[in-house]
Structure formats: structure tokens, C-alpha cells
């Protein structure tokens, strides 16, 4: 969000006074989030039901529910370290996390040569060669890109408050996403969810055509799309 404010100021969309006002408002909202008290954990089924790629998939929803573990972290704890292999999926129940995108040389080479998306779940722009930072709020899912790609994290996730998360281990995620009979369909659904999440931020704040749209309207528009699985074939 702070990067968006900076870009809008540099592009002349807002002036210095307006930028300072937005920064002040953002700072106040951050303070409010930090002061939130811990509340009773939301049942995991309520969170999982809101995940787009699990809708109308009761079998996998039930399996993930059976293996979701409620865990707690203190302020300053690190949930995910950049450079580590995927550990599974985290569903943020309460508290505030801060995500840091840390591009590595290998990641940038893969992106430049093959178009590989870095393993960071909270992009607010597509400047993949630059560090980014975002706040992660309750109801968010962490680990979707790692779940489908299996690549090491390009992010570090810190606890800005005490937090509670539901944790689904990598072995369970792998069974559902990579080894189940419906794995190809599930992977396509996850990639669609990832794409929509990135597109929402980019289109709303960086493309003039969509800047007057409500997020809900744009979300409905993007949901009409689909993701195809393309397989490599060699022709002679």
C-alpha cells in the first residue's frame, strides 16, 4: 500500500499534501489493527469455506479440516523465512502479520527467462525486482503459491501482534494439490485465485479504466475468467 501511495505521488495522481494525508490515515489504521485484542478463534470450516478453490469441493474441504492445527505466535515471531522450502498453508484467524518480499537472484533469473512467478502471496505491483511489504489481516491465506509451485519462499512473514493461525502441513497440502485424482483441477483453481488476487491490486490502482470500479465489481468481472493447464509437447 505504501508503494502504491509513492507511485501515485510520483505519477502526479495525488500531490504531496494528499499523499501525507493518505499516509497518516494508513498509519492510524495500522495502529488500530495492532491494538486489536485476541478473540475466540473462528472455526476452520468458516475460513476454508471462503477459499475460492475449495468451494463445491466437500471431500477435500473435509480432509483439510481434519488436519488443520490451531497454533499461536507471539509478537516478533517469524512465521515464514525467505529461502525455506514450503511448509504448508497458514490461515490467519486473528492478529496482524507483516509480509516482506525479498527477491533472490535465482528468482529474478527464473522470472526473466521463463516468466516464473516469485513465491510471494501479497504482491501489490509487478515490480518483481524490487522488495515489497504488505500487512496481512485476519481471514488471509498464506502459502498458496508455494502450494502449487513447490518453490522456496521469496518472503518472510513476521508477527506484528500476537496471532492465531490454522496450519495445514505440507504433506497434507501435497496430497490434495499434487497427488489427488482432482489435482489438475485444484491446481488450476488455485492459480486462478492467485491471479485474481494480483490483478485486483494492479487494475484498481494502476489502470485508469478500472480506477472507478468498486472492488466487488472488479472481482465479479475477473471471476468470469478461467485458467487452462497447458502441457509441453514436442513436435517434429
At 200-229, the pLDDT tens digits run: 888 887 788 888 888 888 888 888 887 776
CB 117 within 8 A of CB 98: no
Q: Specify the fold of 38-222.
A: Jelly Rolls (2.60.120)
- The alpha helices in 104-182, defined as continuous H runs, are 105-114, 144-149, 170-174
Q: Does residue 188 have a pLDDT over 50?
A: yes
What pLDDT sits at residue 5? 64
Q: Is the dihedral angle over the CA atoms 90, 170, 200, 110 positive or is it negative? A: positive
Considering the entire predicted model, what is its pTM?
0.77
- The alpha helices in the chain, defined as continuous H runs, are 2-10, 16-34, 44-49, 58-66, 105-114, 144-149, 170-174, 183-206, 215-222
- Stretch 168-196: mean pLDDT: 93
Q: What 8-state DSSP symbol labels residue 224?
A: T
| Greater pLDDT, 179 or 56 | 179
Q: pLDDT tens for residues 16-60?
A: 776 777 777 777 666 655 555 445 567 777 888 888 899 888 999
For 171, the grid coordinates are 504433506
Among 16-30, 67-81, 140-154, 189-203, name the one with the lowest average pLDDT: 16-30
Q: C-alpha distances in angstroms, 197 versus 14, 15, 16, 145, 178?
A: 25, 28, 29, 11, 22
Mean pLDDT, the chain, whole residue set: 86
What pLDDT sits at residue 175? 96
Rounded Cα–Cα distance for residues 124 and 136 (Å) = 12
| Greater pLDDT, 32 or 143 | 143
Amino acid at each position: 500500500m505504501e508503494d502504491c501511495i509513492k507511485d501515485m505521488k510520483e505519477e502526479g495522481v495525488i500531490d504531496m499534501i494528499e499523499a501525507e494525508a493518505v499516509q497518516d490515515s494508513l498509519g492510524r489504521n495500522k495502529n488500530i489493527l495492532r491494538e486489536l485484542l485476541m478473540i475466540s478463534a473462528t472455526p476452520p470450516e468458516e475460513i476454508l469455506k471462503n477459499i475460492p478453490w475449495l468451494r463445491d469441493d466437500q471431500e477435500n474441504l473435509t480432509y483439510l479440516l481434519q488436519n488443520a492445527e490451531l497454533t499461536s505466535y507471539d509478537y516478533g515471531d517469524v512465521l515464514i523465512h525467505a529461502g525455506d522450502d514450503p511448509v504448508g498453508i497458514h490461515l490467519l484467524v486473528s492478529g496482524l502479520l507483516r509480509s516482506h518480499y525479498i527477491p533472490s537472484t535465482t528468482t529474478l533469473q527464473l522470472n526473466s527467462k521463463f516468466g516464473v512467478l516469485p513465491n510471494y502471496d501479497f504482491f501489490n505491483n509487478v515490480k518483481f525486482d524490487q522488495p515489497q511489504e504488505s500487512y496481512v489481516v485476519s481471514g488471509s491465506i498464506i502459502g498458496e503459491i508455494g502450494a502449487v509451485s513447490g518453490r522456496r519462499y521469496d518472503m518472510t512473514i513476521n508477527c506484528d501482534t500476537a496471532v492465531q493461525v490454522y496450519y495445514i502441513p505440507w504433506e497434507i497440502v501435497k496430497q490434495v494439490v499434487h497427488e489427488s485424482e482432482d489435482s489438475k483441477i485444484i491446481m488450476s483453481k488455485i492459480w486462478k485465485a492467485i491471479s485474481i488476487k494480483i490483478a485486483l491490486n494492479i487494475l484498481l490502482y494502476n489502470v485508469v479504466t478500472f480506477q472507478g470500479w468498486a472492488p466487488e465489481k472488479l472481482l465479479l468481472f475477473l471471476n468470469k475468467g478461467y485458467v487452462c493447464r497447458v502441457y509441453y509437447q514436442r513436435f517434429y
